[in-house]
Chains A and B, each alone.
Chain A
């Protein structure tokens, strides 16, 4: 922000120093080239083609599949079925229940990881001597593959051989956490939070270290306590980095899959069957139901876009009026 304020007068001075005719030519030269028949477009074309093939072609196929019965064995064939897949998916109570569970997961995972990640980042930020050692230890879980974390959770909580299960039995909590619908969901959330809180902490720690010390010193001089400094100075300055952490984790939370499959496989009683598991069933387990899987994929994409827009609205940087044309008028 301060950089933006510094830039405006310099630009004004430079513009004043250049004669109007030359300034016009300079503006024309600076204008970005447009159109398909330009050298710049030709240079970008290979990368754009790869991008197109990797993102738009599957997207278009996905839309086509959502309106068709898809057979893959004996040659791929799409038989147009109108909106049958959409009405079947949108009219299925089990899928809405699965969406409700996914929302609970989403809020729990993202909420807990952001809060705990911030707490860990603040503690690490206060450390001076052993920070790198502690940081290395804290980051360890996120280097494991999610499926391994799921298996680790399953074995640690196994009532026959699990260390955590034995500890819980020792304190009188003998029930198997993954066996009951009421505890399976929180258990899986805890496993994911254990793995990915370090990533959030790492991102937020980077944001914390970027807060200018002078601002913090000024706040201290003005008599602000730690909490006030955190809420009024640190967190507002960290909004862009919080947005990054939110986007990274929320996009991942929507696709949450490995740990559920490795631990409960969606059970017990569908208590952990979230939307990605449903999609997997339609696409890879059931016969000829790729059309329904495509509908679920598209609804997940729509959900991701909506969530990203909401986060951008609350945490995104809005262009300052002073930095735009209005600034010159003043």
Chain B
């Protein structure tokens, strides 16, 4: 067929497509600005009521504190006249939705559950700096000031590199501690002590080697009451990295040369990757041995799966986030004990999983103001106290003053308790001490590094890969990702 002059050629078509694409790309562009401090017109001078009638969305991981907040929104709505819609989902999905939201230049979600490693560090540009809002006289002040937040948590969850900016206020503080069935240890403890030569009940003096020995003993001697001595969160998932990090740090290893100092403000220059060090290999070798005696389904469990197995009576003890205490108290009232994680050759380490809540930088006007009022309210001592007693969840307060309240102190270790999560307070307060806390490196590439870490560990645990080869592969891939 002869060519026609009025037909569109492929070249013209592609050129047209490219032009349109460029147009769309330009339209999607937005620029970073200093956070505005809008003043609302509603409420007749009441600073809490100034954004009355506004609706905002809060996106969060499906954690106990968020379940408690979602179920107790009425006081905030009465106080401010603002409607809050809470979406809860798995952390992966929160990260994905935030990335899309920040990139689109819109604010579908105004208040963000800003995981410091998966959202704050890689997407700090997408979060509003809260300092101008904190300093503005347009809003109610933060009750008891920033000084009431536990300082480590304020830095770890709120800042990234530039300490003049604050991207989030500490909202929850899950930290891994050892959960164990007191009833089983009371029943089998004397026999186990006689066989093992040490007190098997988890305590501040327990070592990882003793933990392994107790796990084996339970497997061999207590099957009529519990399927396995221990379980782990070893699914190919972020949970596996968290579980392993406790062991890595306690064996003296770390992910980067600058080690734990990267966990507070983060850095763009974390130093050389050090995970393949002899200490790292020793930690991996021990972790593999630990998983050999753990419940065989451990490689399918993340933290929730492990918590479910614990309350189903499948295991006698495990390291897990302390916020699961409320659910455990329902299943085994008064029968669950908490202890620091076992010691390694170098130290003991409790990975900190706390998160702050921040504001989408694309939020403007009344929505921005309403979002700030919500952040202020949700992290206030009164709200944290209310969340502690929630029937559906259970908070993990980030305010020093909450732990010092007489009614909270009175509930420590009590069963039944009005505040079941506070049963862990004594242990978790010790876990937060500088020498016991475990902080992941806050670097922008963390999600990719995390994926490398848990994937290589999963290969070691399920395909029988050599620990030294595993750590070498991890080191090499992490170095490549950091380039």
Contacts and interface: CB of A to CB of B under 8 A. Distances in A.
Contacts of A1: none
Nearest to A75: B29
A271 B285 CA distance: 22
Interface string A71-99: 01111111000000000000000000000
A322 interface: no
Nearest to B465: A269
Given A57-B17, A60-B20, A61-B25, A269 B459 contact: yes
Contacts of A269: 236, 455, 458-459, 461-463
Interface string B17-32: 1101100110011111
Contacts of B295: 159
A37 interface: yes
A270 B448 contact: no
B101 to A, nearest CB: 11
Interface-central residue, A35, A267, A289, by most chain B CB under 10 Å: A267
B461 A287 contact: no
Q: Chain B: interface secondary structure? A: helix
A12 interface: no
Interface residues of B, number: 53
Contacts of A174: 296
Given A74-B32, A160-B309, A285-B451, A175 B6 contact: no
B282 interface: no
Q: Chain A: interface secondary structure? A: loop
Contact of B20 (A53, A158, A287): A53
A35 B4 contact: yes
Contacts of B142: none
Given A56-B17, A159-B297, A287-B122, A72 B463 contact: no
B204 to A, nearest CB: 30
B194 interface: no
Contacts of A281: 451
Contacts of A178: 300
Contact of B102 (A34, A73, A160, A266): A73
Interface string A35-73: 111000000000000001100110111001000000011
A76 B458 contact: no
B95 A75 contact: no
A178 B96 CA distance: 25
A285 B447 contact: yes
A167 to B, nearest CB: 16
Contacts of A77: 29
Nearest to B32: A74
A23 interface: no
A66 to B, nearest CB: 13
B21 A158 contact: no
A159 to B, nearest CB: 4
B125 interface: yes
Contacts of A161: 308, 312
Task: Report the 3 A-B pairs with minimum CB-CB distance, sorted nearest first.
Answer: A267-B236, A60-B17, A72-B103
Interface of B: 4, 6-8, 13-14, 17-18, 20-21, 24-25, 28-32, 92, 95-96, 99-100, 102-103, 122-123, 125-126, 235-237, 295-300, 305, 308-309, 312, 314, 444-445, 447-448, 451, 455, 458-459, 461-463
16 contacts: A35-B6, A36-B7, A64-B18, A74-B30, A76-B25, A159-B296, A159-B314, A160-B309, A160-B314, A179-B299, A265-B237, A267-B236, A268-B461, A269-B463, A270-B455, A287-B444
